């Protein structure tokens, strides 16, 4: 079985066929126009901008229509790569923004819980003081009643 030609950009030898005239390197995702980038004389895979084969120096002819189609395919591939990178960057930014929002939420929640705890402590303190006042008043009333009963009994 014949060895696939090495990619002139990355050296990879695995390709996938996009359609009948385009190969894409599995390693670097560079698209090759089979009719222009593969030398008809020796089968060498050449860089897209090459005008002569790197191995045998045969002319790699290309007409204007081939150039336009090749440029269109390359621009679509680049657009896809750019769009994927943009999407990844947006997703990363959204994740970071979400993380910041969650941190702000949890900080706000912590502050809210601390405020509730402070108010509950103040309420307990007020209830404690009120209870002390009620007990003192009750003791004073009892002492006054006992003193009144004793005075009435002595008179």
* Cα–Cα distance measured from residue 139 to residue 133, given in angstroms and rounded to the nearest whole number: 10
Is the pLDDT score of 1 beyond 50? no
Distance in Å from the first CA to the final CA of the chain:
133
Burial class (CB in 10 A: 0-12, 13-18, 19+), 126: exposed
* Cα–Cα distance measured from residue 142 to residue 64, given in angstroms and rounded to the nearest whole number: 115
Evaluate whether 39 touches 77 at the Cβ level (below 8 Å). Answer: no
Strands (E), the chain: 15-19, 22-25, 31-33
The residue extents of the domains of the chain are: 1-62, 63-155
Lowest mean pLDDT among 38-47, 66-75, 102-111, 136-145: 66-75
Looking at per-residue pLDDT, the higher value among 108 and 52 belongs to: 108
**Residue 62's pLDDT is what?**
61
User: How much of the chain, in percent, has pLDDT values that exceed 90?
Assistant: 43
Is the pLDDT score of 70 beyond 70? no
* Pairing verdict, β 31-33 and 15-19: unpaired
Burial class (CB in 10 A: 0-12, 13-18, 19+), 53: buried
pTM of the model: 0.39
CATH T-level topology, domain 1-62: N-terminal domain of TfIIb (2.20.25)
Residue with the two structure tokens 């706000």: 108
∠ Cα 25 31 34 (to 5°): 100
Residue-wise pLDDT for 92-116, tens only, equals 999 999 999 999 999 999 999 999 9
Please give the mean pLDDT across all residues of the chain: 86
Best CA proximity match to 25, nearest among 17, 35, 15, 36: 15
**Residue 99's pLDDT is what?**
96
52 strand-pairing partners: 59
């Amino acid at each position: 079985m014949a060895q696939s030609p090495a990619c002139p950009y990355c050296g990879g030898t695995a390709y996938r066929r996009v359609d009948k005239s385009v190969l894409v390197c599995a390693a670097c995702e560079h698209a090759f126009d089979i009719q222009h980038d593969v030398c008809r004389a020796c089968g060498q895979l050449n860089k897209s901008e090459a005008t002569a084969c790197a191995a045998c120096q045969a002319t790699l002819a290309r007409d204007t229509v081939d150039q336009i189609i090749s440029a269109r395919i390359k621009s679509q591939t680049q657009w896809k790569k750019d769009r994927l990178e943009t999407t990844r960057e947006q997703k990363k930014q959204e994740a970071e923004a979400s993380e910041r929002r969650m941190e702000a939420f949890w900080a706000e929640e912590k502050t809210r819980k601390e405020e509730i705890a402070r108010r509950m402590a103040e309420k307990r303190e007020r209830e404690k003081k009120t209870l002390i006042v009620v007990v003192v008043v009750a003791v004073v009333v009892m002492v006054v009643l006992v003193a009144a009963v004793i005075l009435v009994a002595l008179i």
